[in-house]
Amino acid sequence: MLSQKKRKSDISPDEIQLTPDDNDGISEQEKPNKLGQWLNLFDSWSNKERLTALESLISSDICDAGQIRHLYSLIEPQLQRDFISLLPKELALYVLHFLEPKDLLRAAQTCRTWRILCEDNLLWREKCQEEGLLDDGELLSGAYGFNGSSSSCDYSTLSDGSNSIPFIRSEYKKGYLKQKTIEYNWRYGRFPNDLSTEQQQQQSQQSQQSQEPKVKHKMLKEILHLKGHDDHVITCLQFNPESNLIVSGSDDNTLKVWSSITGKCLRTLTGHTGGVWSSQLSPHNIVISGSTDRTLKVWDALSGKCKHTLYGHTSTVRCMALHGDQVVSGSRDTTLRVWDINTGNCCHVLVGHCAAVRCVQFNGKIVVSGAYDYLVKVWDAQTETCLHTLEGHSNRVYSLQFDGENIVSGSLDTSIRVWSASTGSSRHCLTGHQSLTSGMQLRGNVLVSGNADSTVKVWDINTGECLQTLAGENKHQSAVTCLQFNSKFVITSSDDGTVKLWDLQTGEFIRNLVSLSSGGSGGVVWRIRASHTKLVCAVGSRNGTEETKLLVLNFDTDDNSLQSETSSAYLSDPRSTSTL
């Protein structure tokens, strides 16, 4: 016990001997008084003396492990500061805007205050902006489209349940999470009647054996099988995701209009006396078709009625391009014609090629055509004047892209050329493919080309550099027949009976979306069309090994399950840290 001969203020912490024996002679009534005396004594010491006393208390044998743990449980909360809750709202949101979306989702589960802050509408609007999901401030309905939601908040789903996933109040957050769920479904979603289930399972097993992160494979709606056109070839395919209409054209002389929701054939468009080899579908569901019977026909897709038959070409109508109420057709008769689809009148005839016109682009004023005479021509549609003749290819021109400033042409000579539309000068000659470039798509400065050499390449048309070659052990085994890409993915189809999904930025193979059982023995995917939620594939064969049909794959998510499924799937996606 402490010596009673010294005053409290004269006692040094070094002289304090607090052992279990100190309490031996103290009654229960005296203990609170002794504790109070010790606290008063501690209060009278300097800061240095207090630190020495505390250090002696903890580091000596006075306190056992349980008592130290108790001290820790008391001390730890005192050292934690909820700075987000303490800051003014504007500053708190400024701090939170540096977080990744996945971190915002986790932060929203911390406490009610953080939850409300992490649901801020402007905060998620910024995240949507970073992902390219906005158009003039409004959410895009198909933000990841291969081709709006309200900005107000909905407070009706507010929940205080301790186990609830972060509630969705912000429409921007809802739109963001919906797009992320759709992206997740493209990567990992499974279909109950998947034609390639066995192969996908094998790939999943290989992925697990390679110790890659495991992901949850959500089961999606069944693949729709749209059977028609008997055993004929589907030569052209169009898809309007806004009206959910699909139009397929065939060498059986007909076109069919389908519902992408039910899979039912709504109309069969009959009237051509030759195979249909080209088509277009307007936003207002007007179909224009070109045939080997040398005519074009204008149809109402909803009623199935033929509105006009356009006469003028003297050979097969092989290609066409639609802009507004005008369509430009290219024919094996070497000419191009500009038509008004409302009246059925031929407005202009463009003469200059000396071989079949194989491809055409049109932006409402300028027509660009590619032909078997190895030339690309640039026309003024109104004056019928040929503005430029682009010479450089040494074989037939099969594909074109035109964005108003740049013209990109693909040829049987294996090269791809980039031209200036205004001057007609050659900007780049892209080499690397080994055969015919059958299809291309241009978005901004990024060009993706598909080739008969079974490879797909990604180019920067500003520099002429090849950014990626989509090949490797998972590459197509035969000619690439069609492709589409968006800001995330490249989708490619092939004569080998597969549709493959690739990562645009890395060039990595993701998975087979379709793998026909007849692939390699005659099964072919002729055409594909994709929206941000659906993929339409025209498949069949030329030897009877695969039935001619359309496949519709739906990657959309049910809005009713968005709140519970989106966050958990997004947070469990091993790629979420790198893709967002």
Dist. CA 246–CA 569, nearest whole Å: 31
Between 52-56, 223-227, 240-244, the lowest mean confidence (pLDDT) is in: 52-56
For the segment 193-207, what is each residue's pLDDT rounded down to a tens digit? Answer: 775 544 555 554 444
Residue 576 has pLDDT above 60, yes or no: no
Domains and CATH numbers, the chain: 28-79 (no CATH), 85-188 (1.20.1280.50), 222-579 (2.130.10.10)
In the block, residue with structure tokens 């929206």? 531
**In the prediction, which pLDDT does 258 show?**
98
Among 46-60, 90-104, 207-221, 259-273, whose mean pLDDT is lowest?
207-221
pLDDT tens digits, one per residue of 316-363: 999 999 999 999 999 999 999 999 999 999 999 999 999 999 999 999
- What is the DSSP code (8-state) at residue 508? -
How many other β-carbons are positioned within 10 Å of the β-carbon of residue 383? 9
Residues 355-390 pLDDT 10s: 999 999 999 999 999 999 999 999 999 999 999 999
Strands across the sheet with 397-402, in order? 397-402, 406-411, 416-420, 426-430
Grade residue 5 by pLDDT with cuts at 50, 70 and 90: very low
Mean pLDDT, residues 255-269: 97
What pLDDT sits at residue 28? 62
This prediction's pTM: 0.78
- The radius of gyration computed from the CA coordinates of the chain, to the nearest angstrom, equals 35
Decide if pLDDT at 11 tops 70: no
Q: Flag whether pLDDT at 1 surpasses 80.
A: no
pLDDT score recorded for residue 195: 53
More confident residue, 574 or 227: 227
Report whether pLDDT(16) > 80: no
Q: What is the pLDDT of residue 207?
A: 46
In the predicted model, is pLDDT for residue 216 greater than 90?
no
Q: Which residues of 424-438 are buried (b: 16+ CB within 10 A; e: fewer)?
A: beebbebeebeebbb
Vertex 185, ends 184 and 189: CA angle to 5°? 125
pLDDT tens column, 435-471 = 999 899 999 999 999 999 999 999 999 999 999 999 9
Higher pLDDT, 543 or 390: 390
pLDDT at 130: 86
What's the whole-number average pLDDT of the chain?
A: 85
Q: Please, which pLDDT band fits residue 227 given cuts at 50, 70 and 90?
A: very high
Question: What is the mean pLDDT of the segment spanning 229-235?
Answer: 95
**68-91 pLDDT per residue, tens:** 888 888 888 777 778 888 889 899
State the pLDDT at residue 153. Answer: 36
The token pair that represents 44 in the structure block: 């009278």
Task: Give the tens place of pLDDT for each residue, 169-188.
Answer: 788 888 888 888 999 999 99
pLDDT at 160 over 50: no
Q: Is 478 helix (H, G, I), strand (E, B) or coil?
A: coil
Residue 538: CB partners within 8 Å, gap ≥ 6?
234, 237, 248, 525, 526, 527, 528, 550
Confidence tier at 235 by pLDDT (50, 70, 90) = very high
Strands (E), 454-531: 456-460, 465-470, 480-485, 489-494, 498-503, 509-515, 523-530
Residue 164 has pLDDT above 70, yes or no: no
3 versus 526: which is more confidently predicted? Answer: 526
